Amino acid sequence: MKKMIIKNANELVTCSGFKAKSGSEMSELNIIKNGAVVIEDGIIKAVGTTSDILKEYDEANYEVIDATNKAVLPGFVDPHTHFVFGGYRAEEFSWRLKGENYMEIMKRGGGILSSVKMTKEATEEELYESGLKRLDSMLSFGVTTVEGKSGYGLDFDTEIKQLETMKKLGKVHPIDIVSTFLGAHAVPKEYKGNEDAFIDYVIDEVMPTVVEKELAEFCDIFCEKSVFSVEQSRKLLTKAKEMGLKLKLHADEIVQLGGAELSAELGAISADHLLQASDEGLALMAEKGIVATLLPGTAFSLKADYARGRYMIDNGLSVALATDLNPGSCFTESIPLIFALATLYMKLTTEEAINAFTINAAASLDRADSIGSIDVGKKADIIVLEFPSYKFIPYHIGVSTVEKVVKNGNLVFDKLRGGRI
């Protein structure tokens, strides 16, 4: 039996809980000073002060990590990424610097459709190798669970190729991968002006195989002006729910379309982006307990207004944070950058941001019962910082403060030993 004790943590930041935190609860980190964690067979066995833990458990029988003068936290959960893709879109960044907006770039053949073309051309081996490198980078930032979306195929073969690549990566990499089917990420050129037919194609031709092969747990759609309407999104997501998939939405990112309201109507697990979400839509989300997953890196990259994180928390929502790693609008997996943006520009406190990237991010993937906090019975997904306090995470802007990562009770990353183990 694999056994480990992490002891002498200056701050053991437990984020304790088994469901999403909302409103004022998001300020509660449940910190144990001079804390310790006992891990057996990949599961957290005991949590407490080091003195109390060592009275009950003989550390001679355990692998020991001494966290003196260090902070210990739950592993980060990144609940919205597009990390499996072919090619890059660096030229679009320069177009944006010259004043073109995201929708203009899409209209001239850039944007998502550009990545679709390059992902179709990429072999599964190429997608696997590039995905593996991105996962290693995520691990160095303390990510222990990540959501990955398809959506750079928009056809049967490429959508399945993306999802099968994620499934293979999940078998070999320490990070747990939660897969989302985003077959309706954009409108293919051949379906322009006939979006209803494309929704039918996704429902009838692609989604049954996704479900049959168990390639995804969630279904998502880009509910946006000039992409897919609320009615089209409702049709796709309703069918996905009938077929056993859980629901997510790209909602109200560029214009206020009603995506937040739709997420409440359909009982989605999360609605993401929400830069333009209405007060009414956000109130409905709070009432239904739907997690608001915010992506400040995308607003930063697009020079757009940020989602109203402070307003959402003050009005009782559960807020999660994610990187939105993708090849176009937000090419970054930097967790500390997202922390800095969330605290500086979305007005979250550091404590709220910690909960947003741990227990609430877990809840946005329907996993708050098993990950996202340091609680007895949960998976031992834990990070050790180089510094004595969690407050260093946004303070050291854009630079990882993570020294060690424990995944399922195994030490899988150690900066002092050169990285991934």
Length reported for the chain: 421
Whether the predicted pLDDT of 102 surpasses 80: no
Residue where a domain stops, chosen among 341, 363, 385: 363
Same domain, 240 and 177: yes
Same domain, 95 and 198: yes
Whether the predicted pLDDT of 100 surpasses 90: no
Same domain, 203 and 321: yes
Residue 116: its pLDDT value, please?
93
Same domain, 111 and 246: yes
Neighbours of 313 (CB within 10 A): 26
Residue 91: its pLDDT value, please?
86
The average confidence (pLDDT) of the chain is 96
Residue 10: its pLDDT value, please?
98
User: Which H/E stretch holds residue 58?
Assistant: none
Residues 6+ away with beta carbon under 8 Å from 76: 141, 142, 143, 144, 335, 357, 358, 361, 383
Task: Mean pLDDT check: name the lowest of 50-54, 95-99, 226-230, 267-271.
Answer: 95-99
Give me the mean pLDDT over the 269-287 stretch. Answer: 98
Q: What are the tokens at 122?
A: 């990429």
Same domain, 286 and 416: no
Residue with tokens 């897919």: 228
Give me the mean pLDDT over the 316-340 stretch. Answer: 97
CA distance 215 to 239: 17
Domain count, the chain: 2
Q: Which amino acid is at 371?
A: I
Q: What pLDDT, in 10s, does the model give residues 143-198?
A: 999 999 999 999 999 999 999 999 999 999 999 999 999 999 999 999 999 999 99
Helix, strand or coil, per DSSP, at residue 305? coil
Whether the predicted pLDDT of 95 surpasses 90: no
Residue 118: its pLDDT value, please?
96
CATH number of the structural domain spanning residue 298: 3.20.20.140
Residue 99: its pLDDT value, please?
85
Residue 105: its pLDDT value, please?
80
Q: Where are the alpha helices (DSSP H) in 122-194?
A: 124-140, 156-172
CATH number of the structural domain spanning residue 29: 2.30.40.10
Whether the predicted pLDDT of 378 surpasses 80: yes
Same domain, 283 and 171: yes
Whether the predicted pLDDT of 260 surpasses 80: yes
Residue where a domain stops, chosen among 329, 346, 363: 363
CA distance 196 to 12: 51
Residue 264: its pLDDT value, please?
98
Same domain, 375 and 354: no
Residue 101: its pLDDT value, please?
81
* Structural domain harbouring 411: 3-75+370-420
User: Closest by alpha carbon to 381, among 74, 64, 3, 140?
Assistant: 74
Same domain, 38 and 66: yes
- The pTM (predicted TM-score) of the whole model is 0.97
Whether the predicted pLDDT of 109 surpasses 80: no
Whether the predicted pLDDT of 108 surpasses 80: no
Q: What pLDDT, in 10s, does the model give residues 114-125?
A: 999 999 999 999
Q: Are 296 and 345 in contact (CB under 8 A)?
A: yes
Same domain, 257 and 313: yes
Residue where a domain stops, chosen among 363, 379, 412: 363
Same domain, 110 and 165: yes
Whether the predicted pLDDT of 229 surpasses 80: yes
Using only C-alpha atoms, the chain has a radius of gyration, in whole angstroms, of 21
Residue 310: its pLDDT value, please?
98
Same domain, 67 and 83: no
Helix, strand or coil, per DSSP, at residue 183? strand
Same domain, 58 and 81: no
Residue with tokens 């993937």: 365
